[in-house]
Structures are given as C-alpha cells and as structure tokens.
Amino acid sequence: MRVVIRFFLSLRTAIVFFTAFMAIAVEGSSSLVKNLAFFSGIDDTPLFQWLMESDAFRAAWWIYAMIFVISLLAVNTVFCTADALLKKAGLKKLLLKLSPEIIHIGVLLIMLGHLLTASMGFKADMVINKGESRAVAGSAAITVNDVRMKTDAEGYAQDWEADLQWSDASGQSVPHVLRPVHPLYFGQFGVYIKAVTLEPEPSVQVRVCRDLGAPWALAGGIVLSLGCVTLLMLRLQRGNG
Amino acid sequence: MFCSAGADDTRELLAVLIPLVPAVLYSLGLMEGRKGRYFFFAGLLCHLFFVAVRGITLETIPLTEKHDTISFMAFSTGLLFAYLSLRHDLKGSSLIALPLISTILVIAVFHKPIDTIAPLLRTPWFYIHSFLFFGSYGFFGVSFCAGLYFLATRDRDFESLQYRTALSGWVMYTVALIVGSVWFYIAYGTYWIWTPRELWTTLAWFYFGLYLHARMMKGFFGIPAAGIGVAGYAVLLFAYFGVGTVIPSPPTQF
C-alpha cells in the first residue's frame, strides 16, 4: 500500500503520465486522419456511447489508452493535492500558497465534466425545412417558421437566422430567433444553429444537445483560471521562481 | 471590371508589402547600440500601425484569420521583448528574438488576408480567446529566446526569465483555452471535438505543464529543464502551423 501511495505522490509519476498522454495524443492525431470515415461520427454522440456502438477497438484503442492515462493522472493529482493541503494547512496567505492545488482541483473538475459529457447526455443534428416540425428527444418539437440569410457582394454568407418555436410535452411553447453564437436554452436542452440554405427550399441545420458535463467543466475552468492567476502572482513575487 | 481587378491586385500587393516594413525594421534592430534599439522600436510602432489598419479594414479586432493571428503572434513577442528590454539587460538575446519576430511576420505575408468574418466568430468570447491565445505565443516566444540564450551562455538570469515567461504564457494559454471552450460551446453546442488540431493544442498545454513540473525536480533543474522548455516552443509552433499542413485537420465542424 505504501508503495502505491508513494508512486501516486511522486512528481516523476506525473511526468511519466504527461509524456504518455502526449505520445497517445500524437498517435491519436494521426489515427484520426488515417481513419477519417470511421471517426466521422465521433462528435455527433456522447463519447462512451460512440465507443460502444462503433465497437472497433483496433482503430480507437488510443482513446481507451487516453482515458486510462487521464484517470491515472487524476488519481496522481488527487494524491498530490491532498498531500499538499495537509502539509500547508494553517499557513498565512493560504490562497496564494495553495494555488497549485486550486489548479489541480480545477483540472479534476474539467475531467469530471468530460466524463459526464462522454457518458451521458444527448446530441442530435437535423435539417428542418421552413414550415416543418421535427420531434426532439421524444417529448419536444422544433418548428421552423422562417429562415433568413445575409450575403456580401461576393455571395459569402455574412449572417443568418431562423424563427423557430420550441414546444414540449407540457404544452409550453417558446418562440425564438436563433442566430449564430446565440443559442436557445430550454430546460436542460440547448439549440444551436449550424447553417442555413435558401435553395432549393429554405432550411436550417440545427444541433440540439443536453450536456450534463458542461457546467462541471465550466466550474473547473473558472477554478483553474483562478488557481493559475494566483500561482502566477506567487511565483512572480518570489522573483526567480 | 478591369479597374476592379487592378484595385484588387494593388490591395494584395500592399497586404504583402506593408508587413514587410516592420519585418525589415526588426531585422535592422540587430545593429549594435542605440541605433539598433531605435530600429526595433520603430518596427514595433510600424507593426502596431499595420495591426490598426487591419482592424479598421475589418471593423473589429483583427484576430479572425491566419494572416492577422500570425502577425499578432509576432507583435506580442516583440512587445513583450521590448518591455523586458526596458527593465532588464537582455544582452545578446536580441540576436535570437529579432530574427524570430521577423520570420514570424514574414510567414504572415504568405497567408492572404481575408476580410470576411464568419458569423460564428462574432462574439466577445472568441476575441478574448484569440487575444489571449496568440498573446501567450508572445510569452512562449520570449521564453524560447531566453532559454536558448541560457543554453548558449549558462547565464542563470536567463533560465529564470525563461521560466517566468513560460509560466505567464502557460497561464494565459490556459485561460485562452477555457474562454475558447465557452465560445465553442455557445457556437457549436460542445466544448471539445476530436480533431488533430484540438489534440495538438491540448498536447502543447500538457507539454508546458510537464516543463513547469520538471523544473521543480532534482536532476531536471537547469540545462535539462531549459532544453525541455526550448523544445516546447517547437511543439507549440507545430500545433499551429504543422497541424493543417503536415497533419491534415478538417475545418471545425459540429
């Protein structure tokens, strides 16, 4: 047991995991390119669902390896953070002293966010013509009332928007003008506009998703940013680092 | 029609020539003494003017496409180097920094400026992300120069400068990635996609994380850690320039 604890408390272990992660990422980036068709659907469903459905360990082994290394890194981070917290408790300027641990907690929250995103949630991409409705996640529906697009002199799309109506099983109906980077959030669902076309008939491409990991990842991002800034203050104040 | 084509040609020629002026001034900054310093600061002012002109053309912060982002990468490196040179004696490290800044700026010239901004980029989240992301390249660039100078001269001050600028760059890069995730989420409904570009961007973050951790370890402090840090800049440049050219990466999609 002591050997395991010492292993996970070591900075050397973290370096080994970092290196392993990077090696796997290099392999992954080349694998993504070599198996473009196979990986084309990876971003359309939650990761774990895609891994189970695609059932191709040979092409996607590096994702399993990445998850494994990230999990080990998470354990390493928990051990180092706990150890540092126990040692540093009671010191003055606690926030500044604990900034590396705040960073680690932020990273852990982001990992948790990714875990939830990969294992749960809902994603659906759909093309809806003007005047038509599409069912979403069983109990809701989207109706597209109008589609508009603005182009520049050379014909490039400059902006687009769609008037749509979100209705759910309870009878609630929400009208909304959907624009790029202005999604519609309704309950746990988010609706995003991808593109619009006016020919042969006006239609809009939308993504509907429910991402349970996003709030955790955002919380992790905020904690990580705070930790980073305090760490920077501490180190720069110290002078030579 | 003829007039319009002629105007387009002139605009394209100017887009190439204008960035070359600060690039030449930066190179002249290699001259010894005050003269070199004047040329360097003149280059910086000229570069700032060029960035401002692009901003006026686009009617927004010019950080939406490769030509402008690469130019900003060079500008942030130059600006940080100028600031540090006013506070510290950077000795011969300008022999590394100025050619680096000029080279990056010349690379920008090879990318045709694009004046159309995609609707999905029109949010403050994207601009903050882009500003911090390419600003961090400036810190990493100066860190690279300091690290290389330390490896060449063994001057301990430069090892410390390498670490502090890398740490500042890493913090900026981290916040840039977080803000970028927020932008990506409101634009595409997800904060992560599986493409070589995203993997290499994350890999570069881990790489500098490794450097910052390694520097704290016995046996790594000094030359080995400095070497890791210097190589990190190559990783970072590859993540931006290599992915998409050496490793094809599909454009960002849902």
- How close B155 comes to chain A (CA, Å)? 13
- In this prediction, residue B171 carries a pLDDT of 94
Q: What is the mean pLDDT of residues B159-164?
A: 94
Does the distance separating the beta carbons of A30 and B254 come in below 8 Å? no
Confirm or reject contact between B209 and chain A (CB < 8 A).
Answer: yes
Contact, A83 vs A14, CB < 8 A? no
User: Nearest-5° angle of CA A157, CA A161, CA A163?
Assistant: 155
Element (H, E) at A104: helix A99-119
Mean per-residue pLDDT of chain B: 90
Chain B residues 126-165 with CB within 8 Å of chain A: 126, 160, 163-164
Token pair of A90, please?
């009671």
What number of other Cβ atoms are within 10 A of residue B138's Cβ?
25
> Which of B85, B117, B149 marks a domain boundary?
B117
Give the count of alpha carbons within 13 A of A5, CB side only. Answer: 4
Q: Which position has the higher pLDDT, B98 or A51?
A: B98
Token pair of B23, please?
């690039």
User: Which residues on chain A are in Cβ contact (under 8 Å) with B182?
Assistant: 218, 221
Contact, A111 vs A74, CB < 8 A? yes
Alpha-carbon distance B176 to B128, whole Å? 7
Locate all alpha helices (DSSP H) within chain B, ordered by sequence.
2-28, 33-58, 66-87, 94-109, 124-153, 156-188, 196-214, 223-237
- Do residues B9 and B60 both lie within one domain? yes
Contact, B39 vs B70, CB < 8 A? no
In this structure, the strands spanning A133-136 and A189-197 are unpaired
- In this prediction, residue B2 carries a pLDDT of 42
Does the distance separating the beta carbons of A211 and B202 come in below 8 Å? no
Alpha-carbon distance B252 to A191, whole Å? 18
Q: How many separate domains does chain B show?
A: 2
- Do residues B15 and B69 both lie within one domain? yes
- Do residues B112 and B28 both lie within one domain? yes
- How close B145 comes to chain A (CA, Å)? 17
- In this prediction, residue A154 carries a pLDDT of 75
Picking from B128, B177, B191, B221 by the largest number of A CB atoms within 10 A of its own CB, the best residue to mutate is: B191
- Do residues B13 and B79 both lie within one domain? yes
Closest residue in A to B124 (Cα–Cα): A181
Alpha-carbon distance A167 to B106, whole Å? 54
- In this prediction, residue A238 carries a pLDDT of 66
Tens-digit pLDDT profile for chain A (241 aa)?
A: 778 888 888 888 999 999 999 999 999 999 988 888 888 888 888 888 888 888 777 888 999 999 999 999 988 988 888 787 767 655 546 666 788 888 999 999 999 999 999 888 888 889 999 999 998 877 789 999 999 998 887 777 888 999 999 888 777 888 889 999 999 988 788 999 988 988 888 999 999 998 999 999 999 999 999 899 888 877 776 654 4
- Do residues B112 and B126 both lie within one domain? no
- Do residues B136 and B237 both lie within one domain? yes
Q: What is the mean pLDDT of residues B129-144?
A: 97
Closest residue in B to A237 (Cα–Cα): B164
Contact, B254 vs A44, CB < 8 A? yes
Q: What is the mean pLDDT of residues B173-201?
A: 93
Does the distance separating the beta carbons of B185 and A43 come in below 8 Å? no
- Do residues B73 and B158 both lie within one domain? no
- How close B157 comes to chain A (CA, Å)? 8
- Do residues B95 and B143 both lie within one domain? no
- Do residues B97 and B135 both lie within one domain? no
- Do residues B111 and B132 both lie within one domain? no
User: Which residues on chain A are in Cβ contact (under 8 Å) with B174?
Assistant: 224-225, 228
- How close A128 comes to chain B (CA, Å)? 16
Confirm or reject contact between B91 and chain A (CB < 8 A).
Answer: no
Token pair of B39, please?
């040329």
Does the distance separating the beta carbons of A221 and B182 come in below 8 Å? yes
User: Which residues on chain B are in Cβ contact (under 8 Å) with A25?
Assistant: 199-200, 202-203, 206
> Which of B117, B146, B169 marks a domain boundary?
B117
Closest residue in B to A160 (Cα–Cα): B119
Which of A42, A214, A228 has its CB closest to that of B194?
A42
User: Which residues on chain A are in Cβ contact (under 8 Å) with B210?
Assistant: 15, 18-19, 22
Alpha-carbon distance A229 to B63, whole Å? 24
Sign, CA torsion A191/A196/A200/A202: positive
0.80 cut: is pTM over it? yes
- In this prediction, residue A240 carries a pLDDT of 47
- Do residues B158 and B96 both lie within one domain? no
Rounded (10°) CA dihedral B113, B117, B121, B127 = 50
Confirm or reject contact between B250 and chain A (CB < 8 A).
Answer: yes
User: Each residue of B2-18: pLDDT tens digit?
Assistant: 445 566 677 777 777 78
> Which of B92, B117, B142 marks a domain boundary?
B117
User: Roughly how many angstroms between the first and final C-alpha of chain B, as a whole number?
Assistant: 38
Confirm or reject contact between B199 and chain A (CB < 8 A).
Answer: yes
- How close B80 comes to chain A (CA, Å)? 16
Q: How many residues does chain B have?
A: 254
Which residues, in sequence order, are CB contacts of A24 under 8 Å at separation 6+? Answer: A62, A65, A66, A69
- Do residues B126 and B187 both lie within one domain? yes
Does the distance separating the beta carbons of B167 and A235 come in below 8 Å? yes
User: Roughly how many angstroms between the first and final C-alpha of chain A, as a whole number?
Assistant: 34
**Domain span at B254:** 122-254
